Amino acid sequence: MSQPLHKNSATGPRFDSVLIANRGEIAVRIQRACRDLGVKTVAVCSEADREALYVKAADRFLCIGPSSAAKSYLNMDAILLAARLTGAGAIHPGYGFLSENSAFADAAEKAGFVFIGPDAKSIATMGDKISAKRAMIAAGVPCVPGPDTALPEEAVAVEQIALDIGYPVIIKAAGGGGGRGMRVVPEAGLLHDAIALTREEARQAFGSPALYVEKFLQHPRHIEIQVLCDSHGNAVWLGHRDCSMQRRHQKVVEEAPAPGVAPEIIAPVGEACVQACRQIGYRGVGTFEFLYEDNAFYFIEMNTRLQVEHPVTELTAGIDIVQEQIKVAQGLPLALTQADINCKGHSFECRINAEDPESFMSSAGVITGLDWPMGEGVRVDTHIHAGYKVSPYYDSLIAKIIVHAPTRAQAMETMRGALAATRVDGISTNIPFLRALFEDRSFADGETDIHYLEKWLTLRRTL
Ligand code: ADP
């Protein structure tokens, strides 16, 4: 499916082997892209992942620490040492772990490795939600109403800012991520408690107490734009995705394109995103996340890395995003312009999690039996197999089922069939919940907002 996006480079590739500083399905995905490009792979793993098949399938592998992520996948020194010992030329951080850590990107480049991602400065600017908002305002990208500065300490000044925005407001940690470090404040009386709680959470979880405040939008959808940029000033956007199906601010189902968004409304936003990339000298893949309400887009944050949901864009745009990411890291210029990007059909992704379908408590154990769906327009990205032991140490994502069909209704039907054909024995998964969701009429009609899933779950519990 990959199209020739890059012109030939006179200088040749900057590396011929990639260390994948990650685990699970994304490690498998990156390995596949490397193999397709003829690039060698190095796997690093914790003791819990030592027996994983993808670890053994890599050209080389090294165990870098105990099961705890803090001592393995988040251990910068161990990863850089592994890269040196194995002679890797580049490091792919995947998503999560060190993927948005500017100190790691900097350390990797200083140690002589190509970091497959933007430079440390771009990660630092966009990783801090306040400086990202400032950069976006400067680039003409529309943002959620609220100041592009950190909340001051003085109580009276804070009260005035919230009053000027108008309640409800949302307090957010500048360094927040993963749906954490956010608190909605419905009325003035609850402001100071919300700030105190969020600040403490931010200090503990993100290492910085900086907070900011913005308008809490009541019924938005989450729509995001995927960009791809080379190091020669070329940038394209690859259409849009809708990730409104969320539980606790975390995405559960994603689709591309976002249903019901007129091309003339989204096109200027996509153009503003690539313009912002050129302005900040952004390199690699990235995602601009927006809230969309009453036909208007409001920037919330940028992810400076590959995202979990990148496959829905791959299937609609017909572009292998991970291969392109590796190629731009090799210094190759993009060969396609925006006019060449032509998204077709409709795609859905379901995140298959090892968790109880009712309580959502994570589940660990050995997979005793497994069936994946097959057939036209169905893709499964996973690292698990029969006999695989799902460990309690990491994120509960065990697979992604992605479908593609000419229309949204057909893609939904394909997903229903795919979920019906999937069987994971030995642990609990969220598959029964996903099957029920794909039978829901409002979801089928499209354009549901970010609060829909929580309401749907509450309603189901009371029935
Ligand atoms: P994270 O970095 O933790 O993913 P985001 O800033 O991307 O945080 O926000 C995650 C989700 O939180 C959004 O998709 C949306 O559901 C909700 N959210 C964030 N900001 C607002 C806002 N201003 N109004 C309403 N909902 C919001």
Tell me, in angstroms, the distance from the centre of ligand 1 to residue 167's CA.
16
Tokens standing for residue 256: 């591309």
* CATH 3.30.470.20 domain extents, the chain: 221-462
Among the atoms of ligand 1, which is closest to the Cα of residue 289? 7
Residue 150, number of CB atoms within 10 A of its CB: 16
The radius of gyration computed from the CA coordinates of the chain, to the nearest angstrom, equals 22
Whether residue 341 has its Cβ less than 6 Å from ligand 1: no
What 8-state DSSP symbol labels residue 161?
Answer: H
- pLDDT of 8: 44
CA dihedral of 385, 386, 392, 395, whole degrees rounded to 10: 30
For 80, 112, 118, 121, 176, the CA distances from 106, given in Å and listed in that order, are 11, 10, 10, 9, 21
| Catalytically annotated residues | 305
Residue positions counted in the chain: 463
Q: In the chain, how many H helices and how many E strands?
A: 15, 20
CATH 3.30.470.20 fits 221-462, yes or no: yes
Minimal-distance CA residue to ligand 1 atom 12: 249
Q: Which of 123, 245, 300, 302 to mutate to test the pocket of ligand 1 (most atoms within 8 A of CB)?
A: 300
Contact 400, 389 (CB under 8 A): no
Whether residue 289 has its Cβ less than 6 Å from ligand 1: yes
- pLDDT of 30: 98
Q: Strand runs (DSSP E) across 294-407, as ranges?
A: 296-303, 346-353, 365-366, 369-371, 378-382, 389-390, 397-405
Among the atoms of ligand 1, which is closest to the Cα of residue 243? 14
As a whole number of angstroms, the distance between CA 440 and CA 422 comes to 19
Per-residue pLDDT of the chain (463 residues; tens, 9 = 90+): 444 444 444 455 689 999 999 999 999 999 999 999 999 999 999 999 999 999 999 999 999 999 999 999 999 999 999 999 999 999 999 999 999 999 999 999 999 999 999 999 999 999 999 999 999 999 889 999 999 999 999 999 999 999 999 999 999 999 998 888 999 999 999 999 999 999 999 999 998 899 999 999 999 999 999 999 999 999 999 999 999 999 999 999 999 999 999 999 999 999 999 999 999 999 999 999 999 999 999 999 999 999 999 999 999 999 999 999 999 999 999 988 999 999 999 999 999 999 999 999 999 999 999 999 999 999 999 999 999 999 999 999 999 999 999 999 999 999 999 999 999 999 999 999 999 999 999 999 999 999 999 999 999 888 7
At the second CATH level, the architecture of 6-115 is: 3-Layer(aba) Sandwich (3.40)
Minimal-distance CA residue to ligand 1 atom 15: 249
**What is the fold, at CATH topology level, of the domain defined by 145-215?**
Dna Ligase; domain 1 (3.30.1490)
Dihedral-angle region of residue 301 (phi above 0 means left; psi in -120 to 50 means alpha; beta otherwise): beta
Whether residue 217 has its Cβ less than 6 Å from ligand 1: yes
Whether residue 145 has its Cβ less than 6 Å from ligand 1: no
Whether residue 282 has its Cβ less than 6 Å from ligand 1: no
Contact 399, 459 (CB under 8 A): no
Minimal-distance CA residue to ligand 1 atom 18: 249
As a whole number of angstroms, the distance between CA 218 and CA 231 comes to 39
Whether residue 178 has its Cβ less than 6 Å from ligand 1: yes
Helix (H) or strand (E) holding 63: strand 60-65
Strand partners, 185: 169
> Token pair 């350390």 is at which residue?
107
As a whole number of angstroms, the distance between CA 10 and CA 8 comes to 6
User: b/e per residue, 190-218, with b = 16+ CB within 10 A?
Assistant: ebeebbeebbebbeeebebbbbbbbbbbe
Among the atoms of ligand 1, which is closest to the Cα of residue 303? 2
As a whole number of angstroms, the distance between CA 388 and CA 51 comes to 9
Residue 155, number of CB atoms within 10 A of its CB: 11
Dihedral-angle region of residue 96 (phi above 0 means left; psi in -120 to 50 means alpha; beta otherwise): left
What 8-state DSSP symbol labels residue 2?
Answer: -
As a whole number of angstroms, the distance between CA 148 and CA 131 comes to 7
* CATH 3.30.1490.20 domain extents, the chain: 145-215
As a whole number of angstroms, the distance between CA 237 and CA 229 comes to 9
User: b/e per residue, 389-415, with b = 16+ CB within 10 A?
Assistant: ebbebbbbbbbbbbbbbeebeebbebb
Minimal-distance CA residue to ligand 1 atom 2: 177
Residue 105, number of CB atoms within 10 A of its CB: 26
